[in-house]
Structure 1
Amino acid sequence: MKTERILGALYGQALGDAMGMPSELWPRARVKAHFGWIDRFLPGPPENSAACYFNRAEFTDDTSMALCLADALLARDGEIDPELIGRNILAWAQDFDAFNKNVLGPTSKIALNAIRDGRPLAELENNGVTNGAAMRVSPLGCLLPPRDLDAFIDAVALASSPTHKSDLAVAGAVVVAWAISRAVDGAAWSAIADSLPAVARHAQQKRITTFSASLAARLEMALRIVREADGVESASERLYQIVGAGTSTIESVPCAIAMVELADTDPNRCAILCANLGGDTDTIGAMATAICGALRGTGAIDPALKQELDAVNQLDFARYADALAAFRQRREAA
């Protein structure tokens, strides 16, 4: 059953990413005016400078970097090697010509340039607060059991360190990974959601590096907006206007957690709602739908959407899921 949930998380990541790709980084009003309502895979519009490189049902850098992380875990037999993670991400960026396209976030671009120049990871400050660590963290949520929060935070921080070391970026990645990990264990969403503010607070305060607002408080606000809203449209609008749907961790991670709630953990519904939100739609979709996939398993993902993801991206997600499940089982037995 855990393998099924891990596979659901990986497919959810790709589903939310690919569904949200066409509208990424556009204002909510422009998404509505251009698309009306997105409820299927679409190609990136030529006029969208971030999405124009992608065809229908292709995922973006979010899932590509998650797979760079997963490949590093598989290559090291389930152990976290930040140097290899950094090299994998750099190799993907160079292969995709990402430095010359509008697909890399500013924090990742600076860090990858430094890695390309041969600077050791230990010397890199990487104190940015964007969501590059959280958007790729789903394989770690599949790997790490949620037993020891401090050890969990340390592991996520280590895997995030090639590009992101700030308290906020790490805390955001911890929140997404912890939600996935608890879901893989079979926990109910209500219990997971209620636990996340305390998890965020502990992670953000463990090694303070920024003057950021409280991720815990923003999570509480985002969940409250959804629970008190009068319908999906009202909830989405208020999340966009009050919590924010931008590329900063302080906006996108609380927004993603709220979208899981708004979609009632249905991965197909979640991917669609995120795609229509506006802002960082592909990343919010990737994070939120990965959690939904972990909660409900791969069987909950629309077979037609799953088939299209497989056909277009030519990936064997089952290979990753089997390996991550085996690594997780070994950690649980240790």
Structure 2
Amino acid sequence: MMENRILGAFYGQALGDAMGMPSELWPRSRVKAHFGWIDRFLPGPAENNAACYFNRAEFTDDTSMALALADAIIEHHGAVNPDTIGRNILRWAEGFDAFNKNVLGPTSKIALNAIKQGTPVSELENNGVTNGAAMRASPLGCLLPTHNLDAFIDEVALASSPTHKSDLAISGAVVIAWAISKAIEGRNWETICDELPSIARHAQEKRVTTFNASLGARIELALNVARTARGTESGMEQVYHLVGTGTSTIESVAAAIAMVELAQTNPNRCAILCANLGGDTDTIGAMATAICGALHGVESIDSELKRELDDVNQLDFMRYSRLFMGYRQQREAQNECP
């Protein structure tokens, strides 16, 4: 069952990303005016300068970077190596011509340019607070057990460091990875989301590097908005206006948690709701739907949507889930050793 949930997380990431791609970085009003309601995979509109490079059911940089991270973990047999992660992300960026397209966030672009020039990851400052670390964190949730929070934070911080080292960015990545890992371990959503604010606070306060507001407090606000909303549309409006759906970690990660709640943890519904939310729809969708997929396993992903993802992207997610299951079991066994 655990491997099934890992596979669900990988597919959930891709599903939320690809469904949210056409509307990414557009205001909610423009999403409504252009699309009406997105309930299936669509190609990126020519007039969307972030989505115009992608065809129907293709995922974006969010999942591409998550897989670059996953491939680095596989290359090191389950270990986190930041230089290899940085190299893999740079290789993807150059292959996609991402430096000349509107797909890289500002923090990632600066960091990748430095890596390209030969700067070791350990020497990079990377104190930005955008969501590039959180958007690719799902493989870390598949890899890392939750028996030791500080060790978990340290591994997530190491994996995030090629592009993001700030307290807020790391906290956001920890929140997404922790939620996925707990889901893989079989915890229910109510239990998981109730502990996320304290997890976020601990991660953000472990090594303070910025003067940002509390992600834990924003997650509490997001959950309250989702739980007290009078209907789905009202809930989405409040998430957009109160929580925020921009590219900053403090908005997008909290919004993703709210959308899991608003979708009642259904991955297919979550992907659709996120696509219609406005703002950083593909990233919020990737994070939120990865959590939903981990909660319910790959069978919860609509079979037709899954088939389209497979046909278009030509990836063997089962290979990832099998390998990550093995790496996770190794880590769990090491923890049990006296």
Partner of residue 281, structure 1:
281
Deviations 1:14-36 (A, max 9, x none): 00000000000000000000000
Map 1:182-221 onto structure 2 (within 5 A). Answer: 182-221=182-221
Shift in Å, 1:52: 0.1
Q: Please state if 1:55 is matched with 2:77.
A: no
Deviations 1:246-285 (A, max 9, x none): 0000000000001000000000000000000000000000
Residue type of the partner of 1:115? I
Identical-residue share of aligned pairs (%): 74
Partner of residue 295, structure 2:
295
Partner of residue 257, structure 2:
257
Shift in Å, 1:122: 1.5
Partner of residue 36, structure 1:
36
* Structure 1 unmatched ranges of 5 or more: none
Residue type of the partner of 1:172? G
Shift in Å, 1:152: 0.1
Residue type of the partner of 1:208? V
Residue type of the partner of 1:252? S
* Structure 2 unmatched ranges of 5 or more: none
Deviations 1:201-229 (A, max 9, x none): 00000000000000000000000001111
Number of aligned positions between the proteins: 334
- 2-structure distance, mates of 1:218, 1:173: 15
Shift in Å, 1:324: 0.3
Partner of residue 272, structure 2:
272
Shift in Å, 1:56: 0.0
- 2-structure distance, mates of 1:240, 1:272: 15
Residue type of the partner of 2:238? R
- 2-structure distance, mates of 1:288, 1:97: 27
Shift in Å, 1:123: 1.4
Partner of residue 135, structure 1:
135
Partner of residue 25, structure 2:
25
Deviations 1:304-326 (A, max 9, x none): 00000000000000000000000
Shift in Å, 1:100: 0.2
Partner of residue 67, structure 2:
67
Residue type of the partner of 1:197? P
Map 1:317-332 onto structure 2 (within 5 A). Answer: 317-332=317-332
TM superposition score normalised by structure 1: 1.00
Residue type of the partner of 1:158? L
Partner of residue 175, structure 2:
175
Map 1:81-160 onto structure 2 (within 5 A). Answer: 81-160=81-160
- 2-structure distance, mates of 1:40, 1:182: 29
Residue type of the partner of 1:247? T
What SS does the aligned partner of 2:52 have? coil
Shift in Å, 1:300: 0.3
Deviations 1:136-160 (A, max 9, x none): 0100000000110000000000000
- 2-structure distance, mates of 1:148, 1:119: 31
- 1-structure distance, mates of 2:122, 2:42: 41
Partner of residue 223, structure 1:
223
Shift in Å, 1:46: 0.1
Deviations 1:58-111 (A, max 9, x none): 000000000000000101000000000000000000000000000000000000
Residue type of the partner of 1:14? A
- 1-structure distance, mates of 2:61, 2:97: 12
Shift in Å, 1:11: 0.1
- 2-structure distance, mates of 1:69, 1:241: 32
Partner of residue 310, structure 1:
310
Shift in Å, 1:120: 1.4
- 2-structure distance, mates of 1:178, 1:56: 30
Map 1:229-248 onto structure 2 (within 5 A). Answer: 229-248=229-248
- 1-structure distance, mates of 2:280, 2:26: 8
- 2-structure distance, mates of 1:123, 1:317: 33
Of stretches 203-212 and 117-126 in structure 1, the one that deviates more from structure 2 is 117-126
What SS does the aligned partner of 1:79 have? coil
What SS does the aligned partner of 1:57 have? coil
Partner of residue 333, structure 2:
333
TM superposition score normalised by structure 2: 0.99
Residue type of the partner of 1:215? L
Residue type of the partner of 1:227? R
- 2-structure distance, mates of 1:27, 1:129: 21
